[in-house]
């Protein structure tokens, strides 16, 4: 691999000049710039990243920490971050935190020790205090899908409450009045937000959730199945099941199938996340888009703007979810009209 010295020698200039053209420093004469550029091409010279980092304190790399790489959410998130970063010649260094406080902590140190210019964090186990403390250190970071007031400028997240609101609202508008709700773990802020949003919509119609038609799950499929069984056994009537994510919705669908329930004729279902599962389920599941790609892009833009001084317009910190309608919700209104 050729070095800046060889370029300077062949071009008949000093390494300082070569460095200037490499970094687009305006002061160099157009003629010498051309000449240097030619030699660079000719030698197929590529600057050494380590040397550059050592001298400039900039690595052009940003660390991404997510709980895990598989699953529909994090892949998309990383994908859109990398794509956005990459367009500006920045590198993505990745690590998984596995939802363990210790591993998340270590991963952050791991990434910092690699001199990442910035971090994008989707952490679950780390405390607010730790993150607030981290914000006082040297490495800037963005926090995905988590809101901490003291460092709100670092936070980019989905408006879960609005998401919960629109999913319930939609069902209400279709004429549904009797709901079952499968929640995520309520100590998690996203679950809480979704639940609050749902309740708010119900409140507007003076409806409250029957206790036997509420189930708190952990976002996995099996909970959805358990929940559905509980609902059916309760013998309390309902026409729609609202699920805090798609996986639990699928779990519930499976049980409904087993029990011979016709979907959406007998019972409607709506999920959250608009994950790939929603498209592939039977029937295809109506769901709430979680904006994962936009969030990733926004996070990358945050870094580009505030860390790399790229001229970008304002960062949106709160992303709004949208309803994606498929085939799992029936309109009671139409049917009613039709029948009568």
Binding site for DNA (CB under 7 A): 1, 3-5, 12-17, 19-20, 22-23, 26-29, 31-33, 45-48, 51-52, 54-56
Structure tokens belonging to residue 36: 């240097």
CA gyration radius, the chain = 26
Task: Please report whether residue 91 would count as binding a copy of itself according to CB under 8 A.
Answer: yes
Q: Tell me which of a copy of itself, DNA, none is bound by residue 34, counting a contact when its beta carbon lies within the kind-specific cut-off of 5 to 8 angstroms.
A: none
Nearer to a copy of itself, 74 or 238 (CB): 74
DSSP secondary structure of 40-85:
HHHHT----HHHHHHHHS---EEEEEES-S-SHHHHHHHHHHHHHH
Q: Which two tokens stand for residue 140?
A: 């800037």
Among 209, 253, 307, 329, contact with a copy of itself (rule: CB under 8 A) = 253
Cα-based distances in Å from 14 to 20, 42, 130: 10, 17, 48
* Interface with a copy of itself, residue 171, by CB under 8 A: no
- Output 55 or 339, the one with its CB closest to DNA: 55
> Closest by alpha carbon to 243, among 286, 181, 168?
181
The least distance separating a copy of itself from the CB of residue 31, rounded to whole angstroms, comes to 27
Q: Which of 10, 238, 315, 240 is nearest to 18 (CA)?
A: 10
Of 113, 187, 309, 340, the one binding a copy of itself (CB under 8 A) is 113
280 binds, among DNA, a copy of itself, none (CB under 5 to 8 A by kind): a copy of itself
Within 10 angstroms of residue 199's Cβ, the number of other Cβ atoms is: 18
> Is position 144 an interface residue for a copy of itself (rule: CB under 8 A)?
no
Binding partner at 31 among DNA, a copy of itself, none, C-beta below 5 to 8 Å by kind: DNA
Q: How far is the CB of 278 from a copy of itself (least distance, A)?
A: 10
User: What does 247 bind: DNA, a copy of itself, none (CB cut-off 5 to 8 Å by kind)?
Assistant: a copy of itself
Smaller CB distance to a copy of itself: residue 1 or 27?
1
Q: Are 67 and 308 in contact (CB under 8 A)?
A: no
Q: Is the CB of 111 or the CB of 120 nearer to DNA?
A: 111
How far apart are the two ends of the chain, measured CA to CA in Å? 81
What residues contact 131, with CB distance under 8 A and at least 6 apart? 121, 123, 143, 148, 151, 154
| Tokens encoding 241 | 């099941």
Cβ proximity to a copy of itself: between 67 and 163 the closer is 67
Write out the residues near a copy of itself by the rule CB under 8 A: 46-51, 53-54, 59, 61, 68-72, 74-76, 78-79, 82-83, 86, 91-96, 110, 113-115, 221, 247, 250, 253-254, 257, 276-277, 279-282, 284
């Amino acid at each position: 691999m050729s070095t800046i010295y060889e370029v300077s020698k062949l071009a008949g200039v000093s390494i300082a000049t070569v460095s200037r053209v490499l970094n687009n420093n305006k002061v160099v004469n157009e003629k010498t710039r051309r000449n240097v550029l030619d030699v660079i091409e000719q030698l197929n010279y590529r600057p050494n990243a380590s040397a550059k980092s050592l001298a400039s304190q900039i690595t052009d790399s940003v660390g991404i920490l997510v709980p895990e790489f598989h699953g529909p959410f994090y892949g998309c998130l990383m994908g859109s971050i990398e794509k956005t970063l990459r367009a500006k010649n920045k590198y993505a260094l990745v690590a998984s935190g596995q939802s363990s406080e210790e591993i998340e902590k270590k991963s952050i140190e791991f990434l910092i020790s690699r001199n990442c210019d910035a971090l994008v964090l989707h952490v679950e186990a780390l405390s607010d205090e730790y993150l607030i403390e981290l914000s006082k250190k040297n490495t800037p970071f963005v926090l995905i899908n988590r809101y901490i007031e003291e460092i709100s400028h670092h936070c980019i997240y989905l408006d879960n409450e609005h998401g919960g609101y629109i999913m319930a609202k939609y069902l209400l508008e279709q004429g549904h009045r009797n709901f079952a709700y499968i929640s995520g773990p309520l100590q998690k802020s996203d679950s809480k937000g979704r639940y609050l949003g749902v309740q708010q919509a119900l409140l507007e119609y003076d409806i409250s959730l029957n206790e036997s038609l509420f189930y708190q799950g952990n976002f996995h499929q099996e909970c959805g199945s358990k929940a559905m069984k509980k609902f059916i056994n309760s013998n309390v009537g309902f026409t729609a099941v609202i699920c805090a994510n798609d996986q639990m919705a699928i779990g519930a669908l499976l049980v409904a199938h087993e029990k011979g329930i016709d979907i959406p004729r007998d019972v409607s279902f709506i999920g959250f996340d608009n994950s790939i599962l929603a498209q592939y389920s039977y029937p295809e599941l109506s769901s709430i888009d979680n904006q994962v790609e936009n969030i990733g892009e926004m996070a990358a833009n945050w870094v580009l703007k505030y860390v790399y001084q790229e001229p970008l317009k304002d960062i949106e910190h709160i992303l709004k979810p949208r309803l994606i309608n498929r085939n799992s919700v029936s309109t009671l209104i139409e049917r009613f009209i039709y029948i009568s």
